[in-house]
Amino acid sequence: MSEAARPLVTTRPDDTGIAARIEGSAIGDSVYRWMITAFALCIPILLLFIALEVGAAAWPALKVFGLGFLTSSDWDPPHNIFGAAPAIYGTIVSSVIALLIATPLALGVAIFLSEFAPSWLRQPVAFLVDLLAAIPSVVYGLWGIFVLQPLLRDHVMPFLSSVPLIGQSALFEGPAYGPSMLSAGLILAIMVLPFTSAVSREVLLAVPRSQREAALALGATKWEMIADAVVPYARSGIIGGIILGLGRALGETMAVTMLIGNVHKISASLFAPGYTMASLIANEFAEATGDLHLSALMAVGAVLFVVTLIVNGLARWLVWRVSREAQS
Amino acid sequence: MTDVSPPRRPTSPPKPPGRPARPSGMQRAAAERTRTTIRRRRVVNVIMVGVTFGAAILATLPLIFILGHLLAAGASLINWDFFTQIPKPPGEAGGGMANGMVGTLVLILAASAFGLPIGIGAGLYLAENRGTHLANAVRFLSDVLNGLPSIVVGIFAWQFLVKPMGKFTALAGGVALGAMMIPLVTRTTEEMIRIVPVSLREAALALGYSRWRTSLVVVLRTALPGIVTGALVAVSRIAGETAPLLFTVLGNQFWSVSLREPIAALPLQIFNFAISPYDQQHALAWAGALVLIGIVLIISLAARFATRSRFGRGGD
Amino acid sequence: MATEPPRAPRPTATVAPPAAPGAERIRLESTALCAFFGSVEAVRDVSIAFRDREVTAIIGPSGCGKSTLLRCLNRMHETVPKARVTGAVSLDGQDIYARGINAIEVRRHVGMVFQRPTPFPTMSIRDNVAAGLRILGRDAPARAETDHIVEDALKRTALWDEVSTRLKDSAVGLSGGQQQRLCIARALATRPAVLLLDEPTASLDPISTQKVEELVYELRRDMTVVIVTHNMQQAARVSDRTAFMLTGELVEFAATNALFTTPSDSRTESYITGRFG
């Protein structure tokens, strides 16, 4: 016979006597919860402050020049005329050069590491490539000034000029003194490479085995499996990695400042010096003449802020989309 | 010999003949063509292995060149003086970058004081409130903060701290660098806390631990080695940052550890020496870069080694 | 027709034979207890009483709600998001779900040991056992007394001889069976009135299992023990009373011997003869 519920038995004097007191720990729990929430909220608040402060610093110049600020090439501090077009142009060109050089290399490394490399080689090589990301920008600039630039000036640029047909084009005209869009683009390529490579490696490794096995079962060679099955599957993520690299290239300051020549000019030639948004701000800040000059620099910073937000947002969304697909 | 096979079902593959037939001329030619195609495809495969391997070599070359040149150009200047003296005026021999190294240390401490509590606290929040809208928003915004160019953070610190205070200070630099530490520390903290098994939490709760005690004394303590590693990685990243410092600390030619004054910093000194016209300062810049990279690499290596031995499996 | 399940020989400990059912007072009891995960009802209207100095086993197929029931007894169920409990559970006459009762207080008097051993990895063996004492705040015992309690708990779980020379070592270095006995010692150190064990030998080897079963059998000397197990033979070996649960309901609750030899409900009979589960 199953036992039904029995009436409560009265307690004896030596019982545990559960006390009904509210422990201080209940307060402790609330305090703890509020504290970590407050810390977490610091992040959105900090971002808000950054946006507000940069905007506030940029406002005076933007008010004066309006959208023409982005298209004008006149930069004349004594007469308080400022136009950021050369800097914007330079940012785009140097980043494009960096991407053109870095992307194939990064993809090649990623494919090698995720598909071809024997496991004992994978870790050390990946480590070395990732180490590139740990080198500070200023060290890249230092090496760029004293090693890369002389190399370019003395050997590579003359060689490029001597290549038949394209060597005479506008792309390579002008004296090769050293500081140039080319050297800035090249150093950016080296700096961007590890990021694109790391993201690409991750998304390639995340491609499910079933995709690879399906290709191999059809008789594909390993390379055909990679080119026809794996890479297309990981396409969004790889593009995300490329755009991530772009985001980093856009904001790089020190190495570019040291290599690009810091001249407000738009030239077609890769040998010519120029400016990027980040290097403009870094270079002219210390000797800015007057409040409008300062504000103009801050306005360039605001443009950089917005552009980086958009580019990074796009990159993250693409990588996120790949990870969602891989999970389903 | 006739082959008496049972009626074929639609789904089964056709049965091979009982005896291989003699290949006809046409069949032999087709086989030859296929063999050539296969051979070509195999060659392409090998070429691509070589190409990607070449890419890997090419990608590691800059690293080797840079490190090599740093050693060659900077090692000779590394001596006791380098670590103990401040820079001498250009033209005078000797001097060191000691004030820069001390300054960088001060900046790291200031940045950690600002960035670590926020990062660890936010990481705890994200780990314990997964899936809520606020947590997802904070995580997303942390990534946004991570992607900001360091120069923009510097501009923010200038507008927010330097301008109102009227002068360049180590404090402003610390805040800028600390802001850059936050996303890294948050992410590692969240991951490390999530790795702690739920059963450990339950064991503590079942013993009568309150929630806050469980989180801090049991879970956080268990995850602490990983969190410390993450903090070190964040430190190694900001130790080499120069751009924010241009707008906040200005640099200082003399000894200074005060938070309310401009302060020297190693990356800033490297930059100034690199663009100066004096060879002797160039040499100092190389030595300084060598020291800076040494610090960054040692921390990165230590962090990688620590996480690998902890989980027993290499990444990638 | 019920057949007698094979029984391991009972350990020859000098323990007073269990009193006739109903002799000891009730220490822990649930009344019309229902437990939910969101809208899913895992425990349906269960009323059951656990007596002092008795070991009660709860058996049933996977998913029958026995672990959930156990976790309601020390208010652990509510730590899961979207968990809900209705009904009452009283400890020595006091409803632990009453307004104003803090779950933490309850858990200090009702200890729990889980399926997998969970020593705190950052604490030494000694500190692990003493972990429940440290949080008593002002009532925490002094160091000397803590050492005494730790030694006592380790002796009861037959670990003392194995670890007395390395109390300061990390608890993670112990074997699985030792770790589980450590967790039991940790639970015993706070001198709970009731000890709940959720499939404590599920992840242990046979020798460790036997040691834990002997321990459980001994613990009845001075506390109430409730053990959830999916192993019927284990229930038969160590318990005085057994409850059989099925899809959240309490089907039958009787003296162990009676339940296994002459079950009154046909579902119980089907389960113990192996027709399902």
ipTM field: 0.85
- φ/ψ (deg, to 5) at A317: -65, -40
Count of domains forming chain C: 1
Given a cut of 80, whether residue A327 has pLDDT beyond it is no
The pLDDT of residue B1 is: 45
Q: CA-CA distance, B282 to B270, in Å (whole number)?
A: 8
Q: CA-CA distance, C78 to C71, in Å (whole number)?
A: 9
Label residue A257 by pLDDT band (50, 70, 90): very high
Given a cut of 70, whether residue C211 has pLDDT beyond it is yes
Task: Assign residue A82 the CATH number of its domain.
Answer: 1.10.3720.10
SS (H, E, C) chain A: CCCCCCCCCCCCCCCCCCCCCCCHHHHHHHHHHHHHHHHHHHHHHHHHHHHHHHHHHHHHHHHHHHHHHHCCCCCEHHHCECCCHHHHHHHHHHHHHHHHHHHHHHHHHHHHHHHHCCHHHHHHHHHHHHHHHHCCHHHHHHHHHHHHHHHHHHHHHHHHHHCCCHHHCHHHCCCCCCCCHHHHHHHHHHHHHHHHHHHHHHHHHCCCHHHHHHHHHCCCCHHHHHHHHHHHHCHHHHHHHHHHHHHHHHHCCHHHHHHCECCCCCCCCCCCCECCHHHHHHHHCCCCCCHHHHHHHHHHHHHHHHHHHHHHHHHHHHHHHHHHHHHC
The pLDDT of residue B11 is: 54
Structure tokens at B98: 């000691």
Residues of B in contact with C132 (CB under 8 A): 207-208
Q: CA-CA distance, B301 to B122, in Å (whole number)?
A: 26
Given a cut of 80, whether residue A63 has pLDDT beyond it is yes
pLDDT digits (tens, 9 = 90+) for B112-138: 999 999 999 999 999 999 889 999 999
Q: Are A18 and C92 inside 8 Å of each other by CB?
A: yes
Q: CA-CA distance, C225 to C19, in Å (whole number)?
A: 15
Count of domains forming chain A: 1
Q: CA-CA distance, C17 to C217, in Å (whole number)?
A: 11
Q: Are C254 and A25 inside 8 Å of each other by CB?
A: no
Average pLDDT over residues A59-65: 89
**Which domain does A210 fall in, by range?**
65-327
Q: Is residue C16 part of a domain?
A: no
Secondary element (H or E) of residue B271: helix B266-274
Q: What angle do CA B155, B160, B166 make, to 5 degrees?
A: 100
Q: Is residue C67 part of a domain?
A: yes
Secondary element (H or E) of residue B313: none
**Which domain does C109 fall in, by range?**
26-272
Question: Going edge to edge, which strands form the sheet with C224-228?
Answer: C110-113, C194-198, C224-228, C55-59, C241-246, C249-255
Whether the Cβ atoms of residue C265 and residue A2 lie closer than 8 Å to each other = yes
Residues of C with CB under 8 A from a CB of B: 74, 76, 79, 104-105, 107-108, 111-112, 114, 116, 118, 120-122, 131-132, 135, 183, 186-187, 190
The pLDDT of residue A207 is: 87
Assess A79–C contact: CB distance below 8 Å, yes or no.
no
E strand spans, chain C? 26-37, 40-51, 55-59, 83-91, 94-95, 110-113, 194-198, 224-228, 241-246, 249-255
The pLDDT of residue A237 is: 85
Residue C46 Cα, gap to closest chain A Cα (Å)? 9
Q: Are A25 and C96 inside 8 Å of each other by CB?
A: no
Shortest CA distance from A255: residue in chain B: B271
Q: Is residue A31 part of a domain?
A: no
Given a cut of 80, whether residue A53 has pLDDT beyond it is yes
Is B97-265 CATH 1.10.3720.10?
yes
The pLDDT of residue A176 is: 77
HSE, side-chain direction, 13 A CA sphere, residue A250: 26
Task: Assign residue C75 the CATH number of its domain.
Answer: 3.40.50.300
Given a cut of 80, whether residue A124 has pLDDT beyond it is yes
Domains of chain B, residue spans? 97-265
Mutate to test the interface with A, among C47, C95, C102, C107 (most CBs of A within 10 A): C102
| CB nearest A57 (choices: B70, B145, B159) | B159
Bridge partners of C36, per DSSP, are C41, C84
Tens place of pLDDT per residue across chain B (316 aa): 455 555 555 555 555 555 556 667 677 766 776 777 888 888 888 898 899 999 999 998 999 999 999 999 888 888 887 888 888 887 777 778 888 899 999 999 999 999 999 999 999 999 999 889 999 999 999 999 999 999 999 999 999 999 899 889 999 999 999 999 999 999 999 999 999 999 999 999 999 898 898 999 888 899 998 999 999 999 998 999 999 999 998 888 888 888 888 999 999 999 999 998 888 888 889 999 999 999 888 887 888 777 665 443 333 3
Q: CA-CA distance, A282 to B244, in Å (whole number)?
A: 9
pTM of the predicted model as reported, rounded to 2 decimal places? 0.82
- For the four alpha carbons of C190, C194, C197 and C198, in that order, the dihedral sign comes to negative
Assess C222–A contact: CB distance below 8 Å, yes or no.
no
- Coil vs helix vs strand at B253: coil
DSSP alpha helix (H) spans, C7-102:
66-73
Q: Are A18 and C100 inside 8 Å of each other by CB?
A: no
- φ/ψ (deg, to 5) at B116: -65, -50
Label residue A10 by pLDDT band (50, 70, 90): very low
Residues of A in contact with C48 (CB under 8 A): 3, 5
The pLDDT of residue A80 is: 85
HSE, side-chain direction, 13 A CA sphere, residue B315: 15
Q: Are B206 and C114 inside 8 Å of each other by CB?
A: yes
Q: Are A57 and B247 inside 8 Å of each other by CB?
A: no
- Coil vs helix vs strand at B12: coil
Q: CA-CA distance, B277 to C115, in Å (whole number)?
A: 72
pLDDT: is B125 or A318 the higher one?
B125
Average pLDDT over residues A65-93: 88
Q: CA-CA distance, C21 to C7, in Å (whole number)?
A: 20
